[in-house]
Structure 1
Amino acid sequence: LLKLAEARDRFEAEGIHIVISDAKLITLCRDKRLTSCLFAQYRIRSPEIYERDHLVFPCFTKPYDGSRAIGAKKINTPADLTVDITEDPKMMFTQYIDIENTFSEFTVDMYYDRQGRLKCAIPRERLEVRTGEVSKGATRRNALYKELVEKMAVLEGARGCITAQFFVSKTDSTTYGVEINPRFGGGFPLTYAAGGNYPGWLIQEYIGGQDIPFSDDWENNLIMLRYDAKILVR
């Protein structure tokens, strides 16, 4: 993503439009330590980041530039801190958020136009996740939706689909911003089925030269269930 962003102007000069966010935003999103500061700019809290010598247990560790939940792990006690974890400079340690009992996990597909203005946001509750991607999900028009439409109505440097992850309390309005991926996410087919025609809007905006109006005309509580199919080839 960063290489594409840095080459965007060169492609633009040849009449080729790469729908990619600015390099500055991608840098902030790629490093989850910086993403926390980005959320703070928009008055959205994030799980506290701990210094290695001042950990609070239980805590959560993950690579600051990781993806698909690879290397992510709950640390219950100091005994769980292996050498591989403590000596890996990319591992960061954060406040543990209980998404099994207290919080629900949400991914929000957000469409931003050329000027970084929010045109649509569709929260998806992650009911079941495998290897970092949702296998069961449901669209939810909830307090998180209202908060993002208000606080993230403009995201400087954003273009196209932005996929953001949040933890939302099951009992009150407490919300934590976790990470932002400046690209389409694996669960986007649910957003598309619910009425978020982001590919069509990209065509209208970048090929048709049209302005995209704000849309909240999407289906609430639409559930997507994925499954594996076996294929035999002889």
Structure 2
Amino acid sequence: MAPSVLFTTIGRRVQLARHFIDNGWIVYGTDSNPEDCAGQGVINSLFKVPRCDEPNYYDSLITICRTNVVNYVIPLFEPEMLELAKRKEEFAQYGANLVLSDEESLNICLDKYKLAQFFIKAGIPTPETFKKLEQIDAKTKWVIKPRTGMGGKDVHIVDSNEVHYFSNKVSNPIYQRYIPGQEYSIDVFITKEGRVLSVVPRLRLEVRSGEVSKSVTVKDEAITRLTIKLLNKLRINGPATIQGIKDNVTGQFYFIEINPRFGGGVPLTMEAGIPYADFLGGDYEQQLEVLHPYQVGLKMLRYDDAIFVSDKGMGNI
């Protein structure tokens, strides 16, 4: 029987779903508003669920896993991850493997201030990061962003004299020293045993609404070494996308964020040859300490496409 995977809050992640479908998987998805979800035109079944902050959300996911014999559950929405991590054993009772890091690691990754402190303690280069307005200086520009959140929402790059004004526009802000340079995303996959199977740096050429729209795979041994050092310090597992920036003047690479999930630009990494479906399925064999190869210099140029569905509504689980 073909393996099956459930993506939570699948939304527009059509290319991610197709990767698994093309590799022989049964793909399920959830959405609180499935009639307006693009994934419905691609995956095997799309289930309506409550929002993750509403009662019965997590019970609804377990019901889907139990009634559909789901092998793997892959969360795509960060606000649900901590609660899901507490329920790994409950999902496992029904044969569903929750592909997610543990609570301790998630508490670090999902809190940008805690993550910055972790980087410093672990000797990982990162921009200076503060949580108090009075700690900033006038030496550089500053990045103001929410301490928690995803998708690049409410992120502002401002001069020091603008910090006070913009800090009032951000909920629970932190202040990160601005590094002028090239932005990178690094897609990684780590097994439950802590083996790093792939590290793929991508240069972010253009970003739209917090998600990369133009990107190119690169080979950078320094970034790859630093990434492996980081992953040996912070034990996460499954897919993750790490954000960083290389200083235009010094060439130093600084780590900024860790998204413990498939990032929005991961279709480029899949097209470059990273077999996530094989990684997850457990049949993949790879020599120890060897990373999976990928195509360097492959560029992704995104454009808008559309899924067309009849307006007939969707049923509940």
Relative to the length of structure 2, the TM-score reads 0.65
Match of 1:2 in 2: 82
* Change in CA separation of 1:221 and 1:171 when aligned onto 2, cut-off 3 Å: farther
CA contact (8 A) 1:116 1:159 kept: yes
Q: Which has the higher contact order (CA 8 A, sep 6+)?
A: 1
Is residue 64 from structure 1 mapped to residue 147 from structure 2 by the alignment?
Answer: yes
* Unmatched segments (≥5 aa) in structure 1: none
* Change in CA separation of 1:167 and 1:200 when aligned onto 2, cut-off 3 Å: same
- Please state how far the C-alpha of 1:133 moved relative to its aligned partner: 0.6
Separation of aligned partners in 1, 2:198 and 2:256: 20
* Change in CA separation of 1:216 and 1:43 when aligned onto 2, cut-off 3 Å: farther
Match of 2:124 in 1: 44
Q: Deviations over 1:172-211 (max 9, x none)?
A: 44011100011000100000011111122101x2xx5x65
Q: Counterpart amino acid of 1:162?
A: A
- Please state how far the C-alpha of 1:154 moved relative to its aligned partner: 2.6
* Change in CA separation of 1:79 and 1:16 when aligned onto 2, cut-off 3 Å: closer
Is residue 145 from structure 1 mapped to residue 224 from structure 2 by the alignment?
Answer: yes
Q: Deviations over 1:23-80 (max 9, x none)?
A: 1111111110011123234421111113311322321100010222111112214245
Match of 1:28 in 2: 108
- Please state how far the C-alpha of 1:117 moved relative to its aligned partner: 2.2
CA contact (8 A) 1:59 1:76 kept: yes
Of 211-220 and 44-53, more deviation after overlay is shown by 211-220
Aligned-pair identity in percent equals 30
One of 189, 197, 208 as aligned partner of 1:119: 197
Q: Which of the two has higher C-alpha Rg?
A: 2
Match of 1:218 in 2: 294
CA RMSD of aligned residues (A): 2.4
Between Structure 1 and Structure 2, how many residues are aligned? 224
One of 84, 90, 95 as aligned partner of 2:177: 95
* Change in CA separation of 1:211 and 1:156 when aligned onto 2, cut-off 3 Å: farther
Match of 2:135 in 1: 54
CA contact (8 A) 2:137 2:160 kept: no
Secondary structure of the 1:81 match is: helix
Relative to the length of structure 1, the TM-score reads 0.86
CA contact (8 A) 2:124 2:230 kept: no
